[in-house]
Structure formats: C-alpha cells, structure tokens
Amino acid sequence: MATVDSTDPELACPISPVVDIVFSRWTTPILWSLHTFGRQRFVELQRGITHITPKVLTQRLRQLERDGLVTRTYHPEVPPRVEYEISDLGRSLAPLFAGLAEWATDNLGKVESARRVYDGAEPRAVTGRRA
C-alpha cells in the first residue's frame, strides 16, 4: 500500500486538482452558461456573465479550452466568428454541479445563520465551557 504525503495538499486530498480547475473564479459561471444556453459567441457570454472583464473572460476561456472543458470554433467569415461550447468532458461535470445546487438550496440558509451567529448578530449557543 502506498503512503500518502500529507505535506502535499494534492496528494493528501485527491480532489484538490479538480477544485483548482473547476472552481476558480468565473469558471463555474462560464460552464453553467454554456451548459444551460448552448453554443455562444464571446459577446453573448460577456453579456450573460455580469461584471466579468473581456480580458478575464478571454483568459478563462483559453484555460477551459486548454483543460478540455470548452471547445472553440473559428469560422473564417467576414467578419470572423468564434463560438464556444461546453465539451463532453465539461458536460460530464453536470452531476457535480447538480449536487452542489441541491446542497446550496438545502444549506446556504444554515451557512448564513452560522455566519450571523459567529459575527455576533445573533446570540451564540451556550456550550457550558468557560473562556
């Protein structure tokens, strides 16, 4: 049996690389938009994902294409047309996102409540321990 190097987070937690790929800023809204609305041009993505800059959208699309989660199709027309769509590999993340959406529906209210308690907006439960 191989031993796990607990000093390397990627070896200690095998999902770390997945989290880095899928849950970096702007990746989930891009994948969600392409999954939900299908093939889109750059400007359509930019309109649908508010507050993302063109530079950041370009960077994220390139990274997603590099990771195989998005495909880019160039149409040599005048003017040139480029379309993006989620790949089969990207689509394979749908059950993960569905599970997260369900978790969010079931638990985000609890998270907000815990934050209010922690931040002092609501009284903390008495634990019986002295400070």
Q: pLDDT tens for residues 48-107?
A: 998 999 999 999 999 999 999 999 999 999 999 999 999 999 999 999 889 999 999 999
> How many whole angstroms separate alpha carbon 76 and alpha carbon 7?
49
Q: How far is CA 117 from CA 5, 57, 78, 110, 127, in A?
A: 37, 37, 59, 11, 14
In a domain, 118, yes or no: yes
Q: Are residues 60 and 101 in the same domain?
A: no
Range of the domain at 75: 13-90
Residue 50 counted as domain residue: yes
CA separation for the pair 14, 27 (Å, rounded): 20
- Grouping H, G, I as helix, E, B as strand and the rest as coil, residue 126 is coil
Same domain, 86 and 99: no
Whether residues 64 and 119 share a domain: the answer is: no
* Contact call for residues 125 and 74 (beta carbons, < 8 A): no
Q: What is this structure's pTM?
A: 0.75
pLDDT, mean over the chain: 88
Helix axis angle, 27-37 relative to 94-118, nearest 10°? 130
Residues 116 and 47 sit within 8 Å (Cβ to Cβ) = no
> What band does 128 get if pLDDT is binned at 50, 70 and 90?
low
Residue 19 and residue 53 in one domain:
yes
* Interacting residues of 37 by C-beta distance below 8 A, sequence separation 6+: 44, 48
Q: Do 22 and 79 sit in the same domain of this protein?
A: yes
In a domain, residue 2? The reply is no
Give the number of domains in the chain: 2
Q: Reply yes or no on whether the pLDDT at 6 is more than 80.
A: no
